Structure 1
C-alpha cells in the first residue's frame, strides 16, 4: 500500500501513437510488452486502441514514454518489438539519461546495430553497444562474460555484415572441440558430421543472419568455413573475419597459435566465458591469459559482460547471478552447517 505522499507524487499522462496496427505490435501479445515496462519502470500502463495512459512518478512516466516511442519508431520501420527489445529500449533510455541529462530525446544517439540482408539487430545493453563499436574499429576483439549475453551471436552477425559489404572475402568460424567422455575419432560419419555437434551454435547464429541456402552455398564454395580450432595450425588467414568461440576451452598454446594466424586485411573475434572452462583440472585457459597479456595493445579491444547483460530469459540472468554470488562467498571451513 503506497504511502499518502507517494500517491500525491503520482501523476498521469496519455501517449497517443498514430498507427493502431503498429501500436498493437508495440504493446505485444496480450499486452505483454506493457506488462514488462510496468515491472521494470514501476508505472501503470493502460492501453485503449492506440492510446496508453501512464500513471506513476513523473520521471518514471517520462522514461516509459521514451521507451514506447523508441519501440513504436522501430516497429514502424519493420523491426520487432519482443520482450528482449523492450529490455533493450529501457537500457538505452537509462544510458541516454545518464549521458545526456536535460537534452531532448531526439538529440540523443541510439545504441549501435548490426545489419545484414536478412535482418538488423540493435544492441540491448550498454555492454553490447560498446562491443559493436569495438568490433567496428578494432582488428582483434576479446569478449568475455557469462552465457546469454550475445557475445557469439553479435559476433557472427558482424562477421556476416562484413562479408556482405565486401570488407572481407570469407568467414572462418571455429571452436575448440573439447571432448566430454567421447573422442571425435569414435563418432560415426565424415569430418563435418563428427564436428557438427561442437559447432552447432555457430550454424544456428549463421542461419539467423543469412538465408540457409546462402549458408550452404558459402560452405560449399569455401566462402564460409566452420572448423575445429586444431585445424587452424599452419595457416595464414588473410582477407577474412575469423571468430573463435568458447575460447575459454583453448589452451595457452592453442590460443597463441590461433592469434598468430591473423593475416593482412583480416579481423579476429575471440569470445568465451572464463567461468565455464571444460579443460582438464589444472590446465590453464588461454583466454584469460591472452586478455591479460594483450589488453592495451594498439588494435586490440576487450569487452567484459556481466550477468546484468544477459538477454535471454529473465531466469537465465537470475541463474547466472546466483552462481556468481556463490563463487564470491568464502568457503565454509566448519561450523554448525558443515557436513558431518
Structure 2
C-alpha cells in the first residue's frame, strides 16, 4: 500500500472511497478534464466521483475493486516521481490481474507469472510494456540472443525491440545498433523517386528512424549514425558481413525471402543479440515467393535459446479502432479459408 493512500472504506454495498492527502498528485491522477478517470470508468463500467481530496468509486463489487487497485497503483507511480500518460492508464487496465475484459483470451503462459514490472531505460524515456504478451516479449529480448516477435501491426513488436537494442547499447553490452528491413514496395513502385540511393531507401527505413528518435535526442541519433555506431540499412546490404558486438533488429521480416532470411540469421556474431519482427498477414513478396519468416518459424521453433513470441489484436496499442480493423480482416480470412 503506497504511503499516501488510505485504506478504502465501503460507504455502502456499491460504493468505495479513496482519500489522497496530496491534492497536487490527485490532480495529476485525474488528468486534464478528468480524462484518466473517464478512461477507467469506460473500461470497467464504474462511476468515479471526485469530492475534494477523495475519489468515490460506484459500481458492482468486482469492477469497483479493480478500479480501486488501479487508482492506487497510478497514485503510487506519481508518488515515485514518474509522470502519468494515457499509455500508463491503458497499461494498468490491460495488466491488472483480475481484468477479464483484456486478459480473458491470453494464453495461460502469461497469467500471473510476470507480476513484477518490466522497464526499458533509454536516453529519453522509460518504456514499459502495456500487455502481458509485450512483457513476455521484452523478457525474451533480454534473455535470448535470437528472438522473434510475430503478430499484427500496432502491437509494439519493432518499437520494443529497438528500445531493448538502445538499452543494450547505453548499458555497454554492445558497441553498435544495426536496424534493417527488406526494401519491398507495398503495392507501389517507388523506383522512379528522385535522389541518390540513400534518398530512395530512406522512406523504407523511416519507421526505424522514428523509433530511434523516441529513445535518443535527435542530435545524438545523427551523431551516432555519422560515427557508424548506429546503422540503418536495407536487408540486402547485410550480405557478407559478420555482425559482432551489436544489437540487431530486422523489421518487416515477412518480406524477406527464404534465402535472405538464412543470410541474415547467419550474420549473427559473437556478443550480438538479434530481434526479428514481422506480420504474416502483410506479405508483399511476389506471388509464389515463400516468406523467409514463415520458413524460419517452421525450421527453428524447437531450437533452444531461440525465442518465438506471438501477438494478437488484443495486444494492439494504437488507436482502439486498429484492433477492430485487424479482427474484421482476420474474421473474413477465416470465412474465406
**Matching of residues 248-287 of structure 1 within 5 Å:** 248-287=254-293
Contact 1:24 1:50 in 2 (8 A): no
**Matching of residues 1-340 of structure 1 within 5 Å:** 10-94=13-97, 109-179=115-185, 180-184=187-191, 186-330=192-336
Structure 1 residues 95 and 164, CA, compared in 2 at 3 Å: closer, same or farther?
Answer: farther
Supply the distance in 1 between the matched residues of 2:52 and 2:325 (Cα, whole angstroms).
38
Any unmatched runs of 5+ in structure 2? 1-11, 104-113
> What whole-Å deviation, never above 9, does each CA across 1:264-295 have from its counterpart, x for those lacking one?
00000000111011111221111121112111
RMSD over aligned Cα, in angstroms?
A: 1.9
Any unmatched runs of 5+ in structure 1? 1-8, 99-107, 332-340
Contact 1:84 1:312 in 2 (8 A): no
Contact 2:180 2:250 in 1 (8 A): yes
Q: Which moved more, 1:304-313 or 1:72-81?
A: 72-81
Structure 1 residues 151 and 78, CA, compared in 2 at 3 Å: closer, same or farther?
Answer: farther
Higher helix proportion (structure 1 or 2): 1
Q: How many aligned residue pairs are there? A: 313
Supply the distance in 1 between the matched residues of 2:122 and 2:229 (Cα, whole angstroms).
16
Supply the distance in 2 between the matched residues of 1:159 and 1:144 (Cα, whole angstroms).
18
Q: Which moved more, 1:318-327 or 1:232-241?
A: 318-327
TM-score (norm 1): 0.87
TM-score (norm 2): 0.88
> What whole-Å deviation, never above 9, does each CA across 1:204-255 have from its counterpart, x for those lacking one?
1001011111100000000000000000000000000000001111111110
2:6 counterpart residue number: none
> What whole-Å deviation, never above 9, does each CA across 1:23-58 have from its counterpart, x for those lacking one?
222222211121111121121111234321001122
Q: How far is the alpha carbon of 1:96 from its aligned partner?
A: 9.1
Contact 2:66 2:98 in 1 (8 A): no
Supply the distance in 2 between the matched residues of 1:309 and 1:93 (Cα, whole angstroms).
14
Supply the distance in 2 between the matched residues of 1:80 and 1:292 (Cα, whole angstroms).
43
